[in-house]
């Protein structure tokens, strides 16, 4: 990191040379130190001021001496010594009248030591809350000096502008430097935007003149290099997922050799829909955005998709991980890499009806958004194909016993079978029931539901539920979705999960050359392995679709190109788009303790 030397200001003398020193100060050591400072004898003043600071730090004389001592150290370029005093002062004096000035000194030291962004951020933060006019002027002067020497990147400048829009002149400098940095990077549309902001916001005349010169220098240039916007949570509780997404995208960017040809713009969504939309609108208005990767969460993805699909149909948006149904339906330029929960449920319903010949089902769904969404999607899929839902019962995952829930299911099924028997007997009262027979059946008989759909969220829970089904004397083909796929299903379920079926978006990666290569390169670049949640891998796939489409598109309409190609290689398997949604679902079964893919009759739908 480059460093900058701040032109020293007499940061602290105004307040310290006021009447607070007048009383009985003529012969005091502090007065002697003050006199040396006033005379510009910084080096000579260090000795007496240091003694007072060290020996009387917690009393007013030591407080004042410490402030003057830091000024002397700064003048003599003794950074390490100044930093020790500043750190000690800020830790001890939480409400000193000199605290804000010491924070300016701390920021100055940060900047001179190479932490330019952190130092300027500290200065702008002081500007937001200080009531001290002298501290305000000092912080502003140092901030402008630093901004003027162009040590901050466009991303850092934009971050500061968003966090601390505190002063018209400071904002003018931030806008001007954003124009310079984006022009330097070949992002001419963005440069024009920022130069115009300097002018439109009525910055000081010298900044406006420089911005006008910048605009004139761009007269013979077009939009410049295109920008791919990446939307991910880079702060807050979901930062880990956002970081993984960015890592996947940047790895793909490196491998595509597009440095200098495409600009990657990162934007923090904070996993919030309104923030994601605002970041998108800013980027599209400010930059030459040709594609968007993200957001990775469903709610922000749906919000951005609705706006982008309506207003910019040629800019594709690929959300790597959002699973809510319908996001891809918000525009012909919206694509979902991850298979939606709805399609996973629909696929297992179709397989059961078309390939297994099952027409009647019971549904046991875990309480919560996931279980409810899966259950409703499965029920819709069954009923739209002429199947019947015989019973629907919710349960809370993780409990040791589900007797109540299974008794309710058994009671429903007994009544259904009893009515069928009465129909066969020609009885008028179809609900007629022999109490002894009912008691015997409810306690001893195995009751059958042809298909039992249990969308457990974890494979261990799925295995446990398979055991509960058998224990409570229900029979039928067990069905599930991606939550079933894992070794814990076999460990917990053992032979009870033999012959079960479930839908997954991808199968084991052990034999996947594409995944092995990705994992190797990911480890090499980031010194960590890609996580099992697939965020980095799916983001890598999304980026590769964008970058490969850039190289093969002649008319600039990337969205149309992706719709035309439809099928793309992915590290977890082929990505197959239909109406923007990835429909490449696999059906697995358990056969002799092994996961086996059912390829011959996975679906009769046209994908």
Q: Give 224-282 as a DSSP string.
A: -S-EEEEEE--SSTTHHHHHHHHHHHHHHHHHHT-TTTSEEEEEE-TT-HHHHHHHHHH
Closest-CA residue to 549 (of 562, 538, 568): 562
* Pair 290, 238 in one domain: yes
Shared-domain flag, residues 334 and 346: no
C-alpha–C-alpha distance, residues 202 and 523, integer Å: 49
Q: Are residues 496 and 553 in the same domain?
A: no
Q: Do 380 and 333 lie in a common domain?
A: no
Containing structural domain, residue 399: 342-504+587-597
DSSP string, 402-428: -HHHHHHHHHHHHHHHHHHHHHHHT-S
In a domain, 329, yes or no: yes
Looking at the structure, do residues 385 and 479 belong to the same domain, yes or no?
yes
Confidence (pLDDT) at 27: 57
Look at residue 325 in the predicted model and tell me its pLDDT.
85
231: left (phi over 0), alpha (psi -120 to 50) or beta: beta
Report yes or no on 515 lying in a domain.
Answer: yes
CATH of the domain at 69: 1.25.40.10
Does residue 360 share a domain with residue 494? Answer: yes
Residues contacting 255, CB < 8 A, separation 6+: 521
- The series of mean pLDDT values per 10 residues for the chain, 607 residues long, is 53 47 58 87 92 92 93 91 94 92 94 94 95 91 95 93 90 96 94 96 95 95 93 95 97 95 95 96 94 96 96 96 92 94 94 96 94 95 96 89 90 88 85 75 82 94 94 95 92 94 82 88 96 93 96 83 92 92 93 88 48
Residues 333 and 383 placed together within one structural domain of the fold = no
In a domain, 217, yes or no: no
Predicted pLDDT of residue 512: 79
DSSP structure class, residue 399: -
Phi, psi of 390 (to 5 degrees): -80, -30
Candidates 511, 467, 461; CA nearest to 481 is 461
Q: Would 206 be classed as within a structural domain? A: no
Task: Report the pLDDT value the prediction gives residue 602, as an integer from 0 to 100.
Answer: 46
Domain boundary among 132, 151, 170: 151
Q: Is residue 144 part of a domain?
A: yes
Asked if residue 178 is part of any domain, the answer here is no
Residues 473 and 348 in one domain: yes
Q: 331 and 354: one domain? A: no
Q: What total of structural domains would you count in the chain?
A: 3
Residue 195 inside a domain? The answer is no
Residue 185 lies in a domain: no
Task: Judge if 516 and 493 occupy the same domain.
Answer: no
Residues 498, 518 share a domain: no
What φ, ψ does residue 413 adopt, rounded to 5°? -70, -40
pLDDT value at residue 433: 79
How far apart, in whole angstroms, are the C-alpha atoms of residue 49 and residue 162?
A: 40
Contact 535, 241 (CB under 8 A): yes
Same domain for 548 and 489:
no
User: What does the DSSP 8-state code read for residue 352?
Assistant: I
- How far CA 511 is from CA of 38, 131, 488, in Å, comes to 76, 65, 20
Which CATH number do you get for residue 552?
Answer: 3.40.50.2300
* DSSP-derived secondary structure for 138-195: HHHHHHHHHHHTT-S-HHHHHHHHHH----HHHHHHHHHHHHHHHHHTT-HHHHHHHH
């Amino acid at each position: 990191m480059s460093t900058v030397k701040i032109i020293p200001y007499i940061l602290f003398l105004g307040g310290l040379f006021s009447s607070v020193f007048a009383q009985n100060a003529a012969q005091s050591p502090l007065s002697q130190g003050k006199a040396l400072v006033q005379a510009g004898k910084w080096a000579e003043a260090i000795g007496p001021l240091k003694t007072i600071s060290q020996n009387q730090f917690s009393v007013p004389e030591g407080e004042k001496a410490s402030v003057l001592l830091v000024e002397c150290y700064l003048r003599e370029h003794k950074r390490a010594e100044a930093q020790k005093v500043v750190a000690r002062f800020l830790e001890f004096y939480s409400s000193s009248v000199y605290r804000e000035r010491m924070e300016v000194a701390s920021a100055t030291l940060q900047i001179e030591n190479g932490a330019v962004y952190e130092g300027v951020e500290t200065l702008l933060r002081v500007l937001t809350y200080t009531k001290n006019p002298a501290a305000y002027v000092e912080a502003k002067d140092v901030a402008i000096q630093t901004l003027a020497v162009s040590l901050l990147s466009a991303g850092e400048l934009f971050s500061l502008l968003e966090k601390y829009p505190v002063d018209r002149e400071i904002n003018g400098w931030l806008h001007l430097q954003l124009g310079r940095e984006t022009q330097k990077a070949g992002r001419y549309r963005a440069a024009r935007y920022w130069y115009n902001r300097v002018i439109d916001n009525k910055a000081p005349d010298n900044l406006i003149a420089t911005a006008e010169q910048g605009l004139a220098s761009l007269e013979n240039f077009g939009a410049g290099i295109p920008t791919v916007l990446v939307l991910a949570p880079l702060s807050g509780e979901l930062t880990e997922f956002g970081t993984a997404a960015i890592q996947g995208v940047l790895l793909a960017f490196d491998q595509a050799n597009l440095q200098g040809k495409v600009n990657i713009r990162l934007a923090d969504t904070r996993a919030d829909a309104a923030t994601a939309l605002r970041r998108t609108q800013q980027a599209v208005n400010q930059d030459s955005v040709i594609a968007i990767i993200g957001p990775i969460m469903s709610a922000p993805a749906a919000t951005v998709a609705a706006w982008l699909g309506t207003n910019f149909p040629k800019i594709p948006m690929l959300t790597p991980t959002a699973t809510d149904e319908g996001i891809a339906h918000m525009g012909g330029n919206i694509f979902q890499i991850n298979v939606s929960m709805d399609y996973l449920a629909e696929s297992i319903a179709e397989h059961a009806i078309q390939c297994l010949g099952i027409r009647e089902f019971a549904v046991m769904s875990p309480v919560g958004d996931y279980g409810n969404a899966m259950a409703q999607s499965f029920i819709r899929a069954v009923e739209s194909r002429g199947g019947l839902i015989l019973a629907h019962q919710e349960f809370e995952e993780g409990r040791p016993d589900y007797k109540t829930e299974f008794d309710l299911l058994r009671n429903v099924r007994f009544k259904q079978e009893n009515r069928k028997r009465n129909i066969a007997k020609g009885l008028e009262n179809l609900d007629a029931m022999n109490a002894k027979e009912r008691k015997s059946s409810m306690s001893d008989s195995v009751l059958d539901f042809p298909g039992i759909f249990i969308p457990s969220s974890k494979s261990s829970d799925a295995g446990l539920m398979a055991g509960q089904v058998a224990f409570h004397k229900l029979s039928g083909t067990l069905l599930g979705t991606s939550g079933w796929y894992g070794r814990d299903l076999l460990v917990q379920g053992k032979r009870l999960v033999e012959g079960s079926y479930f839908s997954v978006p991808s199968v084991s990666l052990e034999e996947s050359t594409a995944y092995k290569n990705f994992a190797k390169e990911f480890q090499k670049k980031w010194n960590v392995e890609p996580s099992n949640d697939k965020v980095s891998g799916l983001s890598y796939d999304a980026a590769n679709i964008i970058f490969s489409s850039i190289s093969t598109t002649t008319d600039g309409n990337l969205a149309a190109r992706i719709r035309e190609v439809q099928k793309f290689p992915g590290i977890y398997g082929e990505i197959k788009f239909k109406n923007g949604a990835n429909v490449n679902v696999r059906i697995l079964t358990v056969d002799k303790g092994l996961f086996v893919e059912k390829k011959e009759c996975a679906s009769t739908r046209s994908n």
